[in-house]
Each structure stands twice: as structure tokens, then as C-alpha cells.
Structure 1
Amino acid sequence: MTGQLALFADEQSSPAGLQYVAEFIAPDLERELIDRVAALPLQPFQFGSFEGKRRVASFGFRYDYTLQRLQPAEPIPAWLAPLIEKVEAHGGPSTRIGQVLCTEYDTGVGIAWHRDKPHFDWIFGLSLGASCKFRFRRPAGEKWQRYTLEAAPRSLYMISGEARRVWEHSIPAVEAPRYSITFRTMVDRKT
């Protein structure tokens, strides 16, 4: 067992550029947002010819894995405007959300290790429904440096800087239904 543990670097403090806000929204708004997201025409996540188990709806832009580029998507719905305003205020005066992704994770569904596409800059995620383990990792020599954030319902996380560019993130299979609304700034629209 000691040899197996040696494969991993110790868990350390949170990645630079990761911010977390508990109770970013009220429980009543959480229920309303879950209903709104569940009512969207959610489609299985498409990764080229691969179909993921989570279901999504993109607004503003969507990344087309077959064409390997951003494509226009449906306009961001008006019901998200007050929430976007609150997220942008949290990000600071120059924060402008250009893309929104609504995701439904059924029990047993997660997301593999990845970094968001380079077209996007800052990433804000609003966690709804069940909590999840939001895992981060980056190479540390022959090991991995790891960090896990417990993303509680109604919380907001923000990924920028090193947490965005150097660290990968993933979510293991959730134990109960979870929804998220991801807000992204665009590289050419964020100073």
C-alpha cells in the first residue's frame, strides 16, 4: 500500500486562481434554476463520435468537437440575466460572460479529467442539487499534486489563472442528481 500511495504527491492547498463562495444563491432560487435547466432541450454531451452520459445545453457559443472550433449557439436565455449580472459582479468590473453551459448529471455520472477549451478564459460554476467532489490535479515531477473541493449546493466556484491554465479538473460519479450552470468569459473579451 505504501508503494501505491507513493504514486501521488501530497494533497496541498488550493490551486492559485481557484475561488469558492458557499451559499452564492438562496434555496428558493436553486429550486427554480433546477426546474429551468431540467426543462431545457438537454442533449447528451457530444465529444466527436463519443456520447457522454451527462446532458447539456449551450448558449452563446458551443464547442464543436468534430469541427474542432467554436460555433454559435442559441442566445443566452433572459431568465439567466440576473444570475449573470451577479456572477459578473463577483468576477469584477471587466468580467463579461459570453458562454453558458447548463448540465444535468444523473446519479452515477461524472466528468473525466480535462481543461476547458482555450477559447474560454475565466470559468464560473454554479453547483445545484447534490454536492460533488470537484477534483484538481497537475503534474509534480513523476507524481500528481492534487486538490479536492467539496462543491456544495448553491455554491459558486471560479477558476482563473494557474487553476485554469495548469491544473486539470474532474468530477467523479455523483451519488445523487446534480445540475450545474457554467458561465465562461471569452479569451478575446476578458482583459
Structure 2
Amino acid sequence: MLGNEVPVLSEFGDLEIIDVSDLEESADSRKLTRRERAEQFRVCKRRNEAYATMLRMEGVASAAELFSQQPSRTICIVNIGYSAEGLLTVQLLEKAFSRYDGFERVVVNIVKPYSFAIFHSTSEAQSAFAELHDKPCPEFKNKLLVLEYVTPSIFAQLTKEPIPGSTESIAETLDESRGLFYIADFISEQEEQTILAYIREDEEREISTNGGSDKWHRIQERYVKHYGHSFDYQTKHVGDVAKTASQQLPLWSQAFIERMSECIPAHTLEPDMLTIQRYPPGAGISFHVDSHTAFTDTLAVLSMGTPVQMDFRKPGAHNAALVSLDLEPRSLLLLTGEARYAWEHAIRIRRTDLVDGAIRERRERWSITIRKVNKTIECNCKYPDLCDNDAETVQRLRARLEYQRD
């Protein structure tokens, strides 16, 4: 918390933000050199900007709506969040906080300029807070960390994560009745190793025939490769076919694709697009729904490597329903209907998951996403909140398609 010895800016509500315009008038500042006063001014200005950015992003008028005057086991790092460094930021935060007893994990949300450190107890969080708040942090080139306490409910609101330590049941469920099908051990361990070996062989072949380059594309902290069709991460739609590893699905995928239809015959998928994704430890993907107009009703995800927790949420206010599903290695997740169209899904950027009260460290994860391209680029679903049928980008794509037909 910021001290009372300096003036505050009223627009931040109850939060005690330093008014940099008054620094030159304080008794302490008159003892400083010009360079020291300039540095003090710069630090205070950046601190104020960090608070202002967070309040603006969360749409609140007062910091009192976000931060707690009472200590809690959850600390918000106001001025450190997701950046171009991505996983490096997570690793550095973990290094900074793991020196203190009771450290549990770091939570960083994609595109959010702030983050959180969670401890097992309030007293342990207080010890870390006392030593780190407003102090130079060597992990971040001696940048001063600006820390605040947040209550469990505010943490859940800001991160869309379950309340730390909560044993309350989830208000809504997401199951087969809503279009989510989950099959554990869909493939065997031997099949998993065989598929991963085929992926590596394809990569070696690409390198040998393409002048030393492969067909992987880096998207944030994960790596993707497309077969059949590519995906344009700018337009969020089907992309340039030239960016595929092959315009045909790999032969090694046919066996488990056929098995999918046998397991869930009511939702037979005849895919023409396959995407491999490699997630280094800690990598994730932000909340999203696969474009309604780009792909048909059913999509499937085969998981390999390390287990990971996937979160699902309905769009809307801060109290949107949240469901977490543990994706085990060799499992198949199939989304159709409401689960496909009305719920967003994400994998959090963090190096550990909290599962049944135990902390589980992530390792490398692989997934294969299987889709069928929607040739009409139209959607008539009953879930308008996440539907892109009327989006300007989609209208341009449809106009281009009509022009090509003519």
C-alpha cells in the first residue's frame, strides 16, 4: 500500500496514489539531487499509470472496488503482467515469489498488464508482501513492484478462475447434454508415442526438403502446424492454403479419426483440417470460441504429453459461469452444439495447475485439433452472443466468395 505522507489523486477513489506534481514541494524531495528527483518523479508516474490502466481495463471508478485494505493470501502485482516476453514473465515472477514460504503459484492472464501471486496462507503472503512491495526486484532489472491484496471473490472476478480455497460447487455444468463429450484413454500409450514419432518424422522431412525450415508457426508461446487448411490468427478465419504443411490430412491421422465416428456416431465428423499444437511448459491460449462461420458444428481435440486444465466460460458479466476440465494425456474432447457455440474455452498461462487441492507442474503438451471447414461461411445458430455471422470480416469473406463464384 502506498503511504500517507504524500498527496493522493482523488480520481482513484480510496487508493493512495502519489501526486507527482507535488513531489517538488515535499521536504524530503528538497534533500534530493536533481537526478534523484527526476527518478522519483518517473517512478511515481509509472506507478500511477499502472493503477490507472488496471482501473480502466476493469471498468471501475475506484480502486477500493478491486483492492483490499486487509491482508489476504492473494497478492496482485499491479505493474507486472503479460507482455511480449510471455512465459519469461511467468518464470521471473515465480522466481521472485518462490523464495518465500507458502508460495503456491502465479496467475497471468493474456493481454492483462497485471498478475497475481497466491500463497497457502495470509501470513505467508504478508511476509512476501513486506519484502517485495515498492522494492527493487532483481528479476525485473530492479523495477519496483507495486503490490496490493485482493479478496478471493475479486480474484475470481478478475481472472475468471475459481475462488482460491473454495469448495463451492460450480453453478452450471457442461456435459454431454450440452454438447461436451470427453473420452479418457481414447488412444493407448503406444499409439500416443507412435503419433508423436510421426510428427517428428514429418518435421525432419520438411527441414530436409525446404532449405532447413519447417512448417511450424509460433503463435504467442505455442507452436502450430496446419494440414488441409490453415488458420489466419488475424482474421480468426480460414487462412492461406500456402501456409499448410500439406493440403491433405496426414495418413497417420486416419485411424483415430475413424475411431472418433465409432465412439460418438451421432456426431460423425468428416474433417478436412487438422492442427497440431505444441505447448511448452506454462504456455496457454486465451479465452475464445472457434469461429462459427469458419467451421461446422463439431470439433475435436486429442491431447498428448502432460495433462492440463482447460477452462470453459459463458460470455457476459464478471460472474459468468466457469467450468474447469482436466484434459488427460491420450484423451479426446469433442465439442458440439451449446458447448461448441455458446462457451469460450482457454488454457491459462501458468506453469502449474491446481487439481483436487494438489499443485501439478506442467510439462510439454501436444494437441491435435480436428475440424471441418464451413464452405458457406454462414451460421444460423441460436447462440448469438459469440456468433460472428454478422461480423464485418465475415461479410467481406462472403462477398469475396460470391465474386469468385460469379
Which amino acid in the other structure matches residue 35 of structure 1?
A: A
Q: Which runs of 4+ in 1 moved over 6 A?
A: none
1:179 to 356, 366, 371: 366
Task: Provide the secondary structure at the position in 2 that maps to 1:117.
Answer: coil
Which amino acid in the other structure matches residue 329 of structure 2?
A: P
1:124 to 300, 307, 326: 300
In structure 2, the partner of 1:99 is: 273
Q: Equivalents in 2 of 1:63, 1:19: separation in Å?
A: 24
In structure 2, the partner of 1:36 is: 198
Q: Which structure: greater strand fraction?
A: 1
In structure 1, the partner of 2:230 is: 62
Task: Provide the secondary structure at the position in 2 that maps to 1:158.
Answer: strand
In structure 2, the partner of 1:14 is: 174
Looking at both structures, which has the greater relative contact order when contacts are Cα pairs under 8 Å and sequence separation is at least 6? 1
Q: Which structure: greater helix fraction?
A: 2
CA displacement at 1:141 relative to structure 2: 4.8
Which amino acid in the other structure matches residue 185 of structure 2?
A: E
Q: Superposed, which structure 2 residues align to 1:77-116 within 5 Å?
A: 77-92=250-265, 94-116=268-290
Contact 2:279 2:365 in 1 (8 A): yes
Report which stretch shifted further, 92-101 or 152-161: 92-101
CA-based RMSD of the aligned residues comes to: 2.5
Per-residue CA deviation, residues 21-41 of structure 1 (Å, 9 max, x unaligned), is 001011101111122234433
Contact 1:26 1:154 in 2 (8 A): yes
Label 1:128 to 1:141 Cα distance change in 2 as closer, same or farther (>3 A).
same
Task: Provide the secondary structure at the position in 2 that maps to 1:76.
Answer: coil
Q: Superposed, which structure 2 residues align to 1:111-190 within 5 Å?
A: 111-118=285-292, 119-121=294-296, 122-139=298-315, 141-173=317-349, 175-188=362-375
CA displacement at 1:185 relative to structure 2: 2.5
1:4 to 133, 150, 154: 154
CA displacement at 1:143 relative to structure 2: 1.3
Contact 1:34 1:129 in 2 (8 A): no
Task: Provide the secondary structure at the position in 1 that maps to 2:300.
Answer: strand
In structure 2, the partner of 1:48 is: none
Label 1:127 to 1:4 Cα distance change in 2 as closer, same or farther (>3 A).
same
Per-residue CA deviation, residues 56-95 of structure 1 (Å, 9 max, x unaligned), is 1101111223566423332111111112111233342642
Q: Equivalents in 2 of 1:160, 1:57: separation in Å?
A: 23
Contact 1:131 1:151 in 2 (8 A): yes
CA displacement at 1:188 relative to structure 2: 4.6
Contact 1:44 1:52 in 2 (8 A): no
Alignment TM-score, normalising by the size of structure 1: 0.84
Label 1:28 to 1:78 Cα distance change in 2 as closer, same or farther (>3 A).
same
Alignment TM-score, normalising by the size of structure 2: 0.42
Label 1:34 to 1:19 Cα distance change in 2 as closer, same or farther (>3 A).
same
CA displacement at 1:165 relative to structure 2: 0.7
Contact 1:88 1:97 in 2 (8 A): no
Taking only the aligned residue pairs, the percentage that are identical comes to 26
Contact 2:237 2:291 in 1 (8 A): no
CA displacement at 1:126 relative to structure 2: 0.6
Q: Could you tell me which runs of 5 or more consecutive residues in structure 1 were left unpaired when the two chains were aligned.
A: 46-50
In structure 1, the partner of 2:28 is: none
Report which stretch shifted further, 23-32 or 13-22: 13-22
Q: Equivalents in 1 of 2:289, 2:283: separation in Å?
A: 18
